[in-house]
Structure 1
C-alpha cells in the first residue's frame, strides 16, 4: 500500500529532541538484557572474578581431549556473557551518546576484554602446538569437542600469524589503545561535534546527521545545495582533527599487521574469513571497468530531474517530481512483512516479534547515535535494531535491511552453539540486501502508476549506487590510504581531502560533466565511521552482488532454493564464508554474481528509460 502520510508529520517526529517524549513502543527494551544498571554491574563483577579461573588450564590444554573441551567450554561461556555485558553498555550509550555514564561502561568493557585477553594469552600458543593427528584423535575421544572443530582447524591454518605467549599477551593489552581513534571519532562526531544551524524556509534547523539525511533529500534544489555545502564545510573546519584520528586508526591496523606477520593490512583483514585478496582487488577492477553503467544511472537521474547539470548534492533528491514516498512505521512494517512471504511463515513470525516486542529503537533523538545497525551479539536473548526513522522509502528499505541482519543473527543463534554463532562480515550483508530486493519486488508488484513505478525502480538504482558503486569507491579509498601509510607516509586531513576528492570525481565522471563534484565534497570521508572498521565496506558490495543472484532463486526458484538460503542463514561460522555462499547457490570465486548484478542494473534502467519515453520525457 502506498502511504499518504503528510511529510510534515515525518519531520515533526524526526525532530523530537527529548528521548523521554518518544512512545515506549518505539524504543528498544534493554531490560531483556539486564533489568537495571545495577544488575549489569553485579554481573560484570561476577564475571571479573570468574575469569581469573581460566589460568588453571595453563600448560594443560593439549594433555587430554577432556581438558581441552572443558577449557574451550569455559572460555566460550565467559566470552558469551562478556559480549552480553558489552552489548548492553554499547546500546545504552548509543541511545544518547552524551551520557558519560554509559560511555564509561563501554570503556570498562574494553578494559575487561583486554584483561581477559591477557589472562588467556597462553591459550592459542598452546593450541598451536597441536598436530593434526593428535587433534583428530581428540575429536574421536570427545564427541562434543567437534563443536570447536572449525575454530581449532582455522587456528592451525593461521599458525604462521600467531606468536609466543608473551607476544600474544602484548597484543591483548594493545587493544586498550588500538580502538582509541575509533572511540574518539564516535564521541566527537555523535556527542560533541558543533553542528551548524541553518535557516530553511524560515525555520532554524540544527544540521545534525539525522537532519542532514532528511534535508539532503529535499525536493528544493536550493535547500539541498545549502545543506550539503553547510554540512561539509563545517566538517572541514575540523579537518586536522579528523585526519589525525583516521591516521591513528591506520597506524593501529599497521601495528597489528606487522605483529601478526601479514604482508598488508588488507591481507590481515581478509584472512579471518580466509578470503583471497584477489576478491577485493577484482571487485575494484570490475567496478572501475563498469563505470559507464554507473554514469548511465547518473545521466538517467539528470534526465528524470530535468537538470542541465547534475551535482553531487542532487543525488539524494526524489527521482520523480511530486511522488513523495512517505510511510509511517506501521505502513512500513505492513509492507515489509508482506514482502517477506517467499521466505516462509516461520521467518515472518520471528520478524513480527522484532516489531512487536521492542527489539527496535525507531526514531532519532538528541544525542542518539546516527545511522542504523543490527546488534545480534546477545546470544541468549535476541537481536536489537537501532534506527533513525524519518518516514521515507529509504527508511523503510533501511528497516528491512537491518531486519535481514537480525534474522540472520536470530536463526544462527538458534541453530548453532555460541562458538559457531558469529558469522563473517563477508556474508553479513547478504541477508540484509536480499531483504531490500524482496521489498522492491513486492512494491513493484503493487504499483502500476508510471510515476510511482519510476520511484520504486529508482530506489533499486539508489541501492546499487550506494551499495555497489559508492562502497567500492570507499574500499578503493581505504586501499589507497592504507598503502600510503604502509610505505611510511604520514597523512594529514589535507591529504585525505585531496585523495578523496580526486577519487570521487573519477567515479562520478566529474571531468566528463556527468556529475559535478563540488570542492567541499572533499570532506565527506571525515564523517564515514566505516573507515575505522578496516576493510569492512567492500563486503557491502560483494554481498550486494551475492544477494542479487540469491534473490532470483528465492523469488523465482524452487522450494529447495529457498531451503538452501534459509540453511545459509542458520550456518553461522561452521564453514568459510565463500563456501557457505556456494552452499546457498552462488559462487563468489567467479564473476557471475557481479555480471548478473550489472545486467540487472542495466535492465532496470532500460525499463525506466522506456517509461520516460512513454511519458514524453
Structure 2
C-alpha cells in the first residue's frame, strides 16, 4: 500500500490566537462557519454511503492479490500485472482512508469516523498479511532477471525506483511467513499512537484557572496555545502551571504510551536485522545516519547563537530573568500583527509570485475551491497539516486560523506542502508521486522564507519591522533548535531502551530535563526552565512518528539555501526548484536535493542557516540600539 502521508507543520499543535475574544471564529461551531472556509469533502465521496460502497468494493478486490502468488518472476507481464493491481488498490485505499481520517479530524469526539479509521486499519493490515509474499518472491530472483524484465516491458519502468530500492534493502526483507507476521503486527503496533491521540485530543481533563481579569477558563491545548502568547506575564504563569502540572498527573500513563511506541520501533528494527531503530528509520530512504548525528552535533556546537537569540528576547521584553513561559509572548509593545484569513491569502499570493504563474494560480484555486479547512471549532484536531494522498484529485489543508501573523506563516508553510503534492501528483506516475518527509519540509519552509522577505521589504516602521524580524527569528528557534532538541530526545530514549533500560514517565522527564535545560542555558542563567516543563515530552505527538522531527531541521537549512538562490533572480535555480517539487519520490531524498542545488551531506547548508540567523539578529540589535538612543 502507498504510505498515507500527513505533512505536519513545524509547530503542529499550537498555532492559535492571543485572545479568544478577538476572534469570534474560535467560539463558533462548524455549522456557524461559512462554507467557503470549510473543506468540501464531497470531492472525495458524495456521502458516507458512497464511502461505504467504495470500502465494500475494495474489500472484494483485496483477496484477488493471492492469484499472483508464485507467478511474479515468471515473466515481465506477470510482474507488471501484479504491480498495476497493487497500484490501483493503493490509490483507492488512500482515498478511502483520507475521507475517514479527515472527517475524524474535524471532530475527534465523534467516534463514528474514528471507528471507520479503525475498520480500515484492520482491513489494510489483513491485506498486508495476504500480500506478504510479494516482496520475498521478487527478491528470490536475481537483479539481472528483474533488469531484463524492465528492458522487455517499458510499462515496468515507473516501478524501477521501487524495485531497485527493494533489492538495496534485501538484507532487511524477511521470509513470506515472517513478512506476514510483520504485517499483522501493525494491528497492535499503532495502538500507542492511537491511544495518545484520543486521550490528548478528546478525553484528557482540562484544569480550570482564574485569570487576572477575573475570568475562569478551562485550559486545553487550544487555550494553552492562546494564553501562552498573552502579554500578561501573571496569566502566562497561571496557565503554564495549570497546564503542565495537569500533564504531570498523567505522567505514568503518558510514559506507558511513549514506551510502548519505542518498543514497537525496536521490535521492527530488530525483526528486520537493523543495528538500531535510527538505522531502521533512515536506511530505507538511503539517508546516512551521519546526517542525523551531524545535525545534533552542529546544533549543540552553535547553542551560543541560540543563547544570543534568547538574550535578545530578554532585552526586548525588559525582564530581569527570561523564563521558558516568556518564549511565546509578544516582545514589541503596541504592535499587534493581526491579519484576517482573507488578508493572509492576499499577502501570500503576492509573496509567492517569484515562483511563477502556475504556482500562484494553483494556490488561488486551493483557496477558492475549498481545499482548506480554516478555523478552529469544538473537537477539531489541533494544529495544521497538508495531505496530498488524493492522487487523482487535489491536496487538503487543515488549519486552526486565529488571525495572528504566525497563522499567516503557517498557511504559507502548509501551501508549500500542498504545492509539492500538486506538482508531484501532476508530473509523476503514482508509484513515484509520493515523496519523503526529508524533502517535504523544504517546500513548506521555502514559502515561509518568501513570505518573510516580502513582508520585511515593505515595512518601514521600526516596531513592526522588529515584530516581523522576531517572528522570523522565532522560526529558527522553533524549527532548527527546538526540533533538533526533540530529535536528540528521541534518539536518547531509543538508545536507552535498546540497552534494555525500561522507561517510565519519570525517566522520560529526567532525560528531557537534561536536554531542555542545556539547550536553553538554564544553569548559565540564559533562560529559566521551571521544573514542570520537564513534562513537555508528553505534549509532542511527533515522538510517535518514528524519527520524524529531525527532518524539520534539515529541511529548514536546505530551504534557506535554495530560497536565497531563487530570490536572487537566478532563473536556473527557479527551474531546478520547480523540478524538485515535481520529482516526487523518483529518486532518494539526498539525491533530489543535490539536483535542486543543496548537498545535505555537507555542513554548508547548516553554516548558511546560522549565518542567516546571525544576520537577522544583527538587524534586530541595530534597530534596538537606534531606539535606545532616541
Matched, 1:147 2:158: yes
Aligned to 2:591: 579
State the secondary structure of the residue aligned to 1:510.
Answer: coil
Aligned to 1:260: 272
Matched, 1:547 2:540: no
Task: Give a deviation string over 1:325-350, Cα, whole Å, max 9, x none.
Answer: 11100111111110001101100000
- Aligned partners of 2:20 and 2:26 also within 8 Å: no
- Aligned partners of 2:18 and 2:230 also within 8 Å: no
Runs of 4 or more, structure 1, over 4 Å off, are: 5-9
Matched, 1:473 2:485: yes
Aligned to 2:617: 605
Superposition deviation, residue 364 in structure 1 = 0.9
Aligned to 1:34: 45
Matched, 1:536 2:548: yes
- Aligned partners of 1:6 and 1:326 also within 8 Å: no
Q: Determine which of 173, 177, 194 is the counterpart of 1:183.
A: 194
State the secondary structure of the residue aligned to 2:386.
Answer: strand
- Aligned partners of 2:323 and 2:529 also within 8 Å: yes
Superposition deviation, residue 8 in structure 1 = 6.5
Please show how residues 227-238 of structure 1 align to structure 2 within 5 Å: 227-238=239-250
State the secondary structure of the residue aligned to 1:120.
Answer: helix
Once the two structures are overlaid, the 10-residue window that deviates more, 128-137 or 348-357, is 128-137
- Aligned partners of 1:84 and 1:378 also within 8 Å: yes
Tell me, which stretches of 5 or more residues in structure 1 are unaligned? none
Tell me, which stretches of 5 or more residues in structure 2 are unaligned? 1-16
Aligned to 1:291: 303
State the secondary structure of the residue aligned to 2:366.
Answer: helix
Aligned residues: 612
Superposition deviation, residue 460 in structure 1 = 1.0
- Aligned partners of 1:214 and 1:390 also within 8 Å: no
C-alpha distance in 1, partners of 2:32/2:376? 11
State the secondary structure of the residue aligned to 1:317.
Answer: coil
Superposition deviation, residue 6 in structure 1 = 11
Aligned to 1:325: 337
Please show how residues 51-90 of structure 1 align to structure 2 within 5 Å: 51-90=62-101
Please show how residues 552-563 of structure 1 align to structure 2 within 5 Å: 552-563=564-575
Aligned to 2:56: 45
- Aligned partners of 1:92 and 1:102 also within 8 Å: yes
Superposition deviation, residue 121 in structure 1 = 0.3
Aligned to 1:451: 463
C-alpha distance in 1, partners of 2:544/2:409? 25
Superposition deviation, residue 202 in structure 1 = 2.7
Once the two structures are overlaid, the 10-residue window that deviates more, 197-206 or 217-226, is 197-206
Change (3 A) 1:208 1:15: farther
Aligned to 1:279: 291
Matched, 1:516 2:528: yes
* TM-score using structure 2 length: 0.96
State the secondary structure of the residue aligned to 1:198.
Answer: strand
C-alpha distance in 2, partners of 1:150/1:402? 27
Superposition deviation, residue 7 in structure 1 = 6.3
C-alpha distance in 2, partners of 1:8/1:246? 32
Change (3 A) 1:175 1:6: closer
Matched, 1:401 2:413: yes
- Aligned partners of 2:18 and 2:229 also within 8 Å: no
- Aligned partners of 2:19 and 2:227 also within 8 Å: no
Task: Give a deviation string over 1:126-160, Cα, whole Å, max 9, x none.
Answer: 11123222122111110010000000000000000
C-alpha distance in 2, partners of 1:8/1:206? 13
Superposition deviation, residue 228 in structure 1 = 1.3
C-alpha distance in 1, partners of 2:404/2:18? 11
* TM-score using structure 1 length: 0.98
Superposition deviation, residue 15 in structure 1 = 2.8
Aligned to 2:475: 463
Q: Determine which of 416, 419, 423 is the counterpart of 2:431.
A: 419
